[in-house]
Amino acid sequence: MMNPASQNTQNKIKKITRIAVFEYRHSGQEKIAGIKRYGHDIEICRTINIEQPLPDFIPEPEDFIDDNFKADLVLCFIKHPDLADYIASICHRKGIPIIASGTRTENALTPFTCCGLGRHAGLGAYGEQFGVPEFEVDLKDGLITAIRIGRGASCGATWKAAAKVIGLPADEAMPVIGREVQYFCAADPSAFDPISGKSSLHYAGHAHIKALLKAVNNAES
Total structural domains in the chain? 2
Three-class secondary structure of residue 133 per DSSP:
coil
Helix axes 200-220, 170-184, angle to 10 degrees: 150
Same domain, 94 and 181: no
In a domain, 127, yes or no: no
Same domain, 169 and 203: yes
| 117 close to 130: Cβ distance less than 8 angstroms | yes
Same domain, 10 and 91: yes
CATH number of the domain where residue 91 is located: 3.40.50.2300
In a domain, 123, yes or no: no
**Domain of residue 194, residue span:** 134-220
Same domain, 183 and 98: no
% the chain with pLDDT above 70: 90
pLDDT confidence bin for 14, thresholds 50/70/90: low
The span from the CA of 144 to the CA of 147, in Å, is: 7
In a domain, 63, yes or no: yes
Q: Average per-residue pLDDT in the chain?
A: 92
In a domain, 119, yes or no: no
How far is CA 198 from each of CA 36, 131, 193, rounded to the nearest angstrom? Answer: 29, 18, 5
Q: pLDDT per residue over 36-93, tens digit each? A: 999 999 999 999 999 999 999 999 999 999 999 999 999 999 999 999 999 999 999 9
The span from the CA of 81 to the CA of 104, in Å, is: 8
Same domain, 20 and 102: yes
For residues 16 and 189, which has the higher predicted lDDT (pLDDT)? Answer: 16
Q: What is the pLDDT of residue 16?
A: 97
In a domain, 39, yes or no: yes
Same domain, 206 and 170: yes
In a domain, 128, yes or no: no
The span from the CA of 174 to the CA of 30, in Å, is: 25
- 34 pLDDT more than 80: yes
Structure pTM? 0.90
pLDDT confidence bin for 2, thresholds 50/70/90: very low
Same domain, 26 and 76: yes
Task: DSSP letter for 167, please.
Answer: T
Of 56-60, 98-102, 189-193, 207-211, minimum mean pLDDT range: 189-193
